[in-house]
Amino acid sequence: MQNTFLIDSGPLIALFDRSDKYHKRVYDYIRSLSCHLVSTLAVLTEVSHMLDFSVEAQIDFLSWVMSGGLRLEPVERDDLGRIIELTRKYHDLPIDFADATLVLAAEKTGIRAVISIDSDFDIYRLTGKVRINNIFPG
């Protein structure tokens, strides 16, 4: 059975931007994993925006998602209360909407591992002070 991991926007941007300093490391790392990747529409939006330097990079990314490279965990209107709580709790970082949706996705799915370039996930905690482990070797 394959593992399932959350993935943040940074590694996804690096995966589709060959000029990104993390491109090769992320590409090699993701290829080495036998896993399913899960993210949110907020992350997809952030990645698409950051890939706006190239329509082809955006299309490649969206095509990869569409072909099953990434499963999107839905964020519903009823989830916004929890996102507001997280935004208040981590206002000093500050947490952005995409990261808050990943914390929410971890709570909803039980996935406790994320692939991220950022150290923020070392600080974020789920309900009950549970950690989300950043598994990207940094």
Name the strand (E) or helix (H) holding 7.
strand 3-7
pLDDT in tens, 97-122: 999 999 999 999 999 999 999 999 99
Listed in sequence order, the residues at least 6 apart from 94 whose beta carbon sits closer than 8 Å to its beta carbon are: 87
Please tell me the total count of domains within the chain: 1
Range of the domain at 45: 3-134
CA dihedral 76, 55, 64, 23 (to 10 degrees): -100
- pLDDT reported for residue 38: 98
- pLDDT reported for residue 113: 97
pLDDT in tens, 44-75: 999 999 999 999 999 999 999 999 999 999 99
68: domain CATH number is 3.40.50.1010
CA dihedral 42, 32, 111, 16 (to 10 degrees): 0
